[in-house]
A and B are shown apart, each in its own frame.
Chain A
Amino acid sequence: MISTILLIIKILVLIGILMGGFAYTTLVERRLLGFFQLRLGPNRVGPQGLLQPLADGLKMALKEDLMPLGADPIVYRMAPVFSLFAALSVDAVIPFGAPIHIFGQSVSLDIANPSIGLLIAFAFSSLGIYGIVLGGWASQNKYSLLGGIRASAQMISYELAMGLSVLGVLMMAGTANLENIVLAQRTQGWFFIPQIVPFVIYFITAIAETNRTPFDLPEAESELVAGYHTEYSGIRFAMFFMAEYINVLTVSGLAVTLFFGGWLGPSFLPPILWFVIKVAVFVFAFIWIRATFPRFRYDKLMSFGWKVLLPISFIYFLGTAAFVSGLL
């Protein structure tokens, strides 16, 4: 009974944290981009613009929810929900900190701790693509359609390299349970040192997974207006938006968990704070990259994924396998 209540509380807290995290990631991004670009960014609502996300959220919620004539109503309405659902679900298996003790019980800081945690994370993050493809397809807009097609091609080809890049970690830790992967790094050291190449590949594919610059082809503003979400407005647009930023947090969280020792760190800070700091560094990198790089071209993106990232990660995967099994 207590464990069920605890679980529900944990789910609510996690969703709250993710939503707040999303809101403030957008604020941080806009402020940082402002500084990168000789502007100030939003700084009028509340001190340093801290209430800006609230104002944005309110605005989005109150805007009219438009649907183009000729759009498929059910698919059109469900697509953003699907995207957001998939984005939120991934975080269920990420451990945010060391287990804590309340009411005489050991409570691990994740919603679920399945033995195949990593697989579940990848399964859900792959589901997110459906929201984008269906949204683009159901909008009855040519730009959206092109964005949807681009998204499906891009995500499918980058998912392969992403999956291969984390297999090394899996083998070194000897488990797919994310909490145990973190604990394995306590003894073996952070995995990004032996797995530096897979980490770089993971990071590149993570940017592609989240559709951010330089891989923001599905929503390429200067080409496709807004890509798959051209026709969306109001809260449904906000859901796509949330999904994108929560995905950023998620892939950062996964990167931290897999390669940078999760919540591990010197004991002068609590474990959960270490986790947050590491994720924040990743989020900053995402924003920095967005401020600097231009966009890939569609065909170059595909050949980069299939001809560069996939072979390298495969070779490194085989090498790691040989090393772990003692062949080398």
Chain B
Amino acid sequence: METTEPQRLMDGETMIINMGPQHPSTHGVLRVRLELDGERVVHAEPIVGYLHTGFEKTAESLTYQQCNTITDRLDYLAPMTNNLAYVLAVEKLMNLEVPKRAQYIRVLFSELTRVASHLVWLGTHVMDLGAMSLFFYTMREREVILDLIEAAAGVRMNPSYFRVGGLAYDLPDGFHEKVTALIKDFPRWMKSYRNLFEGNPLINERLMGISYISQEQCLAWSVTGPNLRATGLALDLRKVEPYCFYDEFDFKVPIRTEGDAYARFWVRVDEIYESMKIIEQVLEKITPHGPYTTSDRKVALPPREEIYGNMEALIHQFKLVTAGFPVPRGEVYQSVEGPRGEMGFYLVSDGGPKPYRWRARTPSFYNLQTLPILCQDGLVADVITAIGSIDIMLGDVDK
């Protein structure tokens, strides 16, 4: 599908303006080449690559365990879902049995990062519209979630908590209480946010009918996630291709049919509630302590006590750390529903401990392609709305 040749109102009277890569609201280093007719956008073209880091090539020289840390850095606002897509892909290739408790904890953290990521989106999007205070409130609440991640994984931003075979560590003591407190506080936060944006005519005016995209266009451009669901198609991989026992949880997939920035806004806001519902349910299924990684010592590191007393465990530890584990020959694609859409990994293994090809299907890259459609005939202010409303993450786009 091609973008149509822009229609110009006045002949030759257009102005080219480069929005970014250094601009307050392009969310990092996105550059948009705008062709303006007065304030009206004739054509908008995203130019990407300013954050290109060569992750996919780097991964080919790392072992499967080491690659895990790279996935954190793709979409650094939702590292856990990236981890999840990657470890599930490797596990699929190895046909690895993962304890059910570990899968539940993965669900818990995936949803926590989804909430954290949506909170950042909410704050920044509304800030782009000109209301700055909400950003500080959502960041405060995101901090609570980051504290939870820190408690479990030891770091806040790039946790690499999910490992092939299970998790890096067991849950810390008192984790359940902390999550319960979060669930309890959650309605109060959302209430205070909604006071600021719900029914606010200025916000509605900036979002309603702005940067429209149809369902057909979304499918043609491989748009996934909340952006697609805002056009009325309830495509959510958690429902369609359940992984990690997502089918055991009771949650709705919020959809809207308008396909504009307003629809995308509310799909995400509703998703925060659904994620909290899942977190509540999954918490009941998790015991405070228990198996958290596979018992296959060829894949997961043995516990410390074993290493000190057991020769075989020491050898396993040594082999895993120095050489990694071999993965059977073959190829696999596994995707999960990230906060921004379908996050997938395509791996090709030649039988060795390092991937032969490591390809990330990052949702923001596909979503960003629609920017020319979204900005069509909008004003300069609508470009900002469009960029904010498709919720891109430049680490995710440029890889």
Contact = CB atoms under 8 A, between A and B. Distances in A.
Q: Which of A216, A221, A223, A296 has the most CB of B within 10 A?
A: A223
Interface string A211-254: 00110100011111100000000000000000000000000000
Nearest to B137: A38
Interface string B360-399: 0000000000000000000111111000000000000000
A143 B17 contact: yes
A37 B202 contact: no
Nearest to B26: A222
Nearest to B196: A292
Contacts of B382: 297
B380 A146 contact: yes
Contact of B206 (A39, A225, A294): A294
Interface in A120-160: 142-143, 146, 149-150
Interface string A278-313: 000000000000011111111110000000000000
Contact of B140 (A38, A225, A291, A298): A38
B128 A146 contact: no
Contact of B136 (A38, A214, A225, A298): A38
A31 B23 CA distance: 26
A323 interface: no
A223 B378 CA distance: 13
Contacts of A38: 136-137, 140
B284 interface: no
Nearest to A215: B130
A223 B132 contact: no
A146 B39 CA distance: 8
B126 A294 contact: yes
Q: Which of B23, B38, B130, B380 has the most CB of A within 10 A?
A: B130
A223 B136 contact: no
Contact of A298 (B24, B36, B381): B381
Nearest to B385: A297
B232 to A, nearest CB: 26
Interface string B235-258: 000000000000000000000000
A38 B137 CA distance: 8
A291 B23 contact: no
B25 interface: yes
Contact of B202 (A216, A223, A294): A294
Interface string B25-60: 100000000001011000000000000000000000
Contacts of B7: none
A297 B381 contact: yes
Contacts of B15: 142
Given A223-B380, A291-B132, A294-B130, 11 more contacts: A37-B133, A146-B36, A149-B38, A222-B24, A222-B129, A225-B23, A293-B130, A294-B129, A295-B206, A297-B205, A298-B380
- 8 nearest interchain CB pairs? A295-B130, A294-B131, A222-B25, A294-B129, A37-B136, A294-B130, A222-B128, A142-B17
Interface of B: 15, 17, 23-25, 36, 38-39, 126-133, 135-137, 140, 196, 200, 202-203, 205-206, 379-384
Interface of A: 36-39, 142-143, 146, 149-150, 213-214, 216, 220-225, 291-300
